[in-house]
A and B are shown apart, each in its own frame.
Chain A
Amino acid sequence: DAKTTQPTSMDCAEGRAANLPCNHSTISGNEYVYWYRQIHSQGPQYIIHGLKNNETNEMASLIITEDRKSSTLILPHATLRDTAVYYCIVRVTGANNLFFGTGTRLTVIP
């Protein structure tokens, strides 16, 4: 799996959009970008994933650059409950595990 680089921590004001960047410059053509988050003391939770097109679901949007070397997870209206560690993961479909790394600790401020 390709290595990812994320900022260690970020703050976001409640109600504003949270934009979490991820660099994956060595990504291969068949590797997907996945985002999970882990709220304190809980198991990780799937957010969204994509290959090369931008994706949106009820939780977030995923913007992948045209060269696929980086992506951004967007939480459109952050709430206090979005405070968590966010993991950007790149994996090949069919790979047997997720490499989580250390992620970005997002703190939503009232």
Chain B
Amino acid sequence: NAGVTQTPKFRVLKTGQSMTLLCAQDMNHEYMYWYRQDPGMGLRLIHYSVGEGTTAKGEVPDGYNVSRLKKQNFLLGLESAAPSQTSVYFCASSTHHTLQETQYFGPGTRLLVL
């Protein structure tokens, strides 16, 4: 049981390039989330999904797109990377249980946009 995994661990992009971050979970969780964390700050929600085929915007969605084609995977895309998107990206998942919505986090992807 690997929990939540993220690919890649680290990436350097040039301004304007595109990339996709992959999040995978093997806990059969319904909910999945993408957060970003800037230095010295807490996490901020980018997008989330409440089930396969569904996505919704979070607190800071601009410049990102997501897809949830399979229940176990949640992809975060940057179509045209900007230096302001330099950050650490964390994926998380949780069950649909209303009283125990503990979120389980992946190890993070460090992205540097030059």
CB-based nearest B residue for A49: B102
Instruction: Give the size category of B's interface with A.
Output: 20 to 34
Interface string of A82-110 (1 = CB under 8 A from B): 00000100000110111111110000000
B69 CB → nearest A CB, Å: 20
Of A93, A96, A101, the residue contacting B58 (CB under 8 A) is: A96
B40 adjacent to A41 (CB under 8 Å):
no
CB-based nearest A residue for B44: A100
A98 adjacent to B98 (CB under 8 Å):
no
Knowing A44-B90, A93-B99, the reply to whether A102 touches B105 (Cβ < 8 A) is no
CB-based nearest B residue for A51: B99
Of B56, B92, B98, the residue contacting A93 (CB under 8 A) is: B98
Residues of B within 8 A of A97 (CB): 33, 35, 45, 48, 58-59
A3 CB → nearest B CB, Å: 12
A43 adjacent to B99 (CB under 8 Å):
no
Residues of A within 8 A of B42 (CB): 87, 99-103
B48 adjacent to A98 (CB under 8 Å):
no
CB-based nearest A residue for B103: A98
A44 adjacent to B40 (CB under 8 Å):
no
Can you name 29 A-B residue pairings with CB atoms under 8 Å? A42-B107, A42-B108, A43-B4, A43-B106, A43-B108, A44-B43, A44-B90, A44-B103, A44-B105, A45-B105, A46-B104, A49-B102, A93-B98, A93-B101, A94-B98, A94-B101, A96-B45, A96-B56, A97-B33, A97-B58, A98-B43, A98-B103, A99-B42, A100-B42, A100-B44, A101-B42, A102-B41, A102-B42, A103-B42
- A contact residues vs B (CB 8 Å cutoff): 41-46, 49, 87, 93-94, 96-103
Chain A to chain B: the 7 pairs with minimum beta-carbon distance, closest first: A43-B105, A100-B42, A97-B45, A100-B43, A46-B102, A101-B42, A44-B105
